[in-house]
Amino acid sequence: MASVTERLRVAAKALVGVFSEDAAKQAYGLLGGIFPGAAGPPPTRGARERAAAYADMPWLHAVADKVSSAIAAVQWQLKAVRPRGEPRAVRVKALQRLGGSWEASLERRARLKRLKEAGELVEVEEHPMLDELLEGGNSYMTGLAMRKTTALHWDLEGEAFWVKQRNALGVPVGAWPIPPHWVTATPTPTNAFFRVSYRGWQGQIPDTEVLWMVNPNPENPYGRGTGMARALADELETDEYAAQFVRMTFINQARPDFIIYPKSPATWSGPERDRLERDWRAQHEGFWRAAKARFATHELGVHEFEDTNFRQLQMVQLREFERDMIIHTWGVPPEILGIVESSNRATIQAASYIFARWVLVPRLEAFRALWQERLVPEYDDRLILDYVSPVEKDREFALEVGTAFPSAWSIDEWRELAEREPLENGDGEVHPVPLGMSFGALEGGGEGALPPDEAAILRRLAGRGRR
């Protein structure tokens, strides 16, 4: 069991902010070169425009909204390990740091499941971090809206910021997400403050009161983050300009279809030109005057402009290409966005699995690791943060396994696969055992043999199956 000194040290690490005194002393030469001034780097150029593009660009909105909504919908959990015979829970570092990938998350849950079966796992159902921060959000946002906003900031700009709201005891009980472009400067070893600016307000917030979640930019991993919207800036703008070009075509592209002019400039005066324009509009404006002939008293010159040919411009192909580039860079299967032109039942069913495993889980693991290290110790360093996996069970694989050996599953398990309720009075707890099946081989001492008690249970189930 961790000592009191160790627990205090871990809790203090979460409270000192981005730079601790020890880190500054140990690597001051390097930190001094990385942060030569009293203010950290400002937002990357175009950060505000990229955040605003979510409301204006349809495919950016569609993809980012799908991902952020799915991330926000995930339920978070807190657990603790209390070995048998111990009066209190203990800190298990191996479980706290086990994560970062899909395989690591499976291993973490498998270990937690074994601890639960052994009666050594405590599931924390009520806790300020769950009830007030992650689910409560703040007085303006629900927890769902707060988590979605955080996921949007992470994806669009590559970083997210929470301003912590504490109660009278100093415990975080809320979080206020702020857009990355509001943070005009990040902390340095000589100035441990975030500089925030919004409209006419400017201020400095201590780095202990801001949780900075950053997806590092490899060009400068100690600077600001980088997100999907920045990587796709050209593709997003190209698609937006194509849409605006089509729109402007419908409002005449700021030019007429043709120009009427006199053969001899001397034959027209200003009033005569205006009179001809009014007369022309009165005779030809409106769909009900289509194909109506025009009679003139003198010769007129007409210059016609060519109509825009969208087929030659390949506008449809261009927009489809930019759409595919956006969703493929994000890694979202097209079926998730309702694009099913080249899909079949198998690809549609696999889309949810791919979306959850390769899009949602990496982001959730990044949040889990950061919150486990920077946020959980402010409550109790023994807690283990986890989430309900968004990856659905592979029903097709389960069906194939069950078909290979139907007796391995009970009637109720088969009904669960078909999304039916269990039978009443425990009638569904029997196994469908084929007639004539013998379990004698299972009781031998060879490899794969069952213990005598399990063999007896199978014999009993086989007898109930024959009835």
Interval 137-152: pLDDT, tens: 999 999 999 999 999 9
Q: Is the pLDDT of residue 464 over 60?
A: no
- When mean pLDDT is compared across 8-17, 39-48, 154-163, 308-317, the lowest value belongs to 8-17
Torsion, Cα 60 64 69 74, to 10 degrees, reads 170
SS3 content of the chain, % helix, strand, coil (to 5): 50, 15, 35
Give per-residue pLDDT as tens, 218-241: 998 988 999 999 999 999 999 898
Instruction: Please state, in angstroms and rounded to a whole number, the distance separating the CA atoms of residues 353 and 391.
Output: 6
pLDDT number for residue 465:
46
Instruction: Please state, in angstroms and rounded to a whole number, the distance separating the CA atoms of residues 95 and 54.
Output: 37
- When mean pLDDT is compared across 23-37, 111-125, 257-271, 276-290, the lowest value belongs to 23-37
The more confidently predicted of residues 436 and 38 is 38
pLDDT number for residue 275:
81
Instruction: Please state, in angstroms and rounded to a whole number, the distance separating the CA atoms of residues 374 and 20.
Output: 13
6 pLDDT band, cuts 50/70/90, is low
pLDDT number for residue 455:
53
pLDDT number for residue 281:
80
451 pLDDT band, cuts 50/70/90, is low
Whether 382 and 19 have beta carbons less than 8 Å apart is answered as no
The more confidently predicted of residues 13 and 410 is 410
Write out the DSSP string of 210-262.
Answer: EEEEE--BTTBTTS----HHHHTHHHHHHHHHHHHHHHHHHTGGGS-SEEEEE
Amino acid of residue 133: L
Residue written as tokens 């769902």? 144
pLDDT number for residue 387:
96
pLDDT number for residue 217:
93
Instruction: Please state, in angstroms and rounded to a whole number, the distance separating the CA atoms of residues 23 and 241.
Output: 48
pLDDT number for residue 162:
97
Question: What is the pLDDT averaged over residues 2-29?
Answer: 58
Whether 152 and 402 have beta carbons less than 8 Å apart is answered as no
443 pLDDT band, cuts 50/70/90, is very low
Q: Do β-strands 172-178 and 193-198 pair in parallel, antiparallel, or remain unpaired?
A: unpaired
pLDDT number for residue 286:
74
Backbone φ and ψ of 77, nearest 5° = -135, 155
DSSP 43: P
Opening angle at CA 99, ends 94 and 103, nearest 5: 115
Whether 159 and 144 have beta carbons less than 8 Å apart is answered as no
Instruction: Please state, in angstroms and rounded to a whole number, the distance separating the CA atoms of residues 89 and 381.
Output: 10
Whether 90 and 381 have beta carbons less than 8 Å apart is answered as no
Amino acid of residue 72: A
Q: Is 15 helix (H, G, I), strand (E, B) or coil?
A: helix
Whether 284 and 291 have beta carbons less than 8 Å apart is answered as no
Residue written as tokens 């493929």? 328
| Gyration radius from the chain CA atoms | 33
Whether 155 and 228 have beta carbons less than 8 Å apart is answered as yes
Q: Is the pLDDT of residue 342 over 50?
A: yes
The more confidently predicted of residues 33 and 103 is 103
pLDDT number for residue 437:
58
Instruction: Please state, in angstroms and rounded to a whole number, the distance separating the CA atoms of residues 149 and 11.
Output: 27
Angle between helices 58-73 and 143-157 (to 10 degrees): 130
Nearest in space to 360 (alpha carbons), one of 61, 97, 146, 68: 68
Please state, in angstroms and as integers, the Cα–Cα distance from residue 358 to each residue in 345, 353, 374, 390, 442, following that order.
Answer: 20, 8, 25, 11, 41
Residue written as tokens 């005449």? 252
Give per-residue pLDDT as tens, 375-413: 999 999 999 999 999 988 766 666 676 677 777 778 888
Range picked from 19-23, 140-144, 287-291, 338-342 for highest mean pLDDT = 140-144
Q: How many CB atoms lie within 10 A of CB 188?
A: 22
pLDDT number for residue 421:
87
Q: Which residues contact 269 (CB under 8 A, 6 or more apart)?
A: none
Range picked from 2-16, 178-192, 362-376 for highest mean pLDDT = 362-376
Q: Do β-strands 183-185 and 300-304 pair in parallel, antiparallel, or remain unpaired?
A: unpaired
The domain 4-228+359-387 is placed in CATH, from the list 3.40.140.120, 1.10.3720.10, 3.40.50.2300, 3.20.10.10, at: 3.40.140.120
Helical (H) or strand (E) element with 366: helix 361-374
- The domain spans of the chain are 4-228+359-387, 395-466
The more confidently predicted of residues 378 and 42 is 378
Q: What percent of the chain has pLDDT over 90?
A: 49
Q: Is the pLDDT of residue 60 over 80?
A: yes
Instruction: Please state, in angstroms and rounded to a whole number, the distance separating the CA atoms of residues 232 and 230.
Output: 5
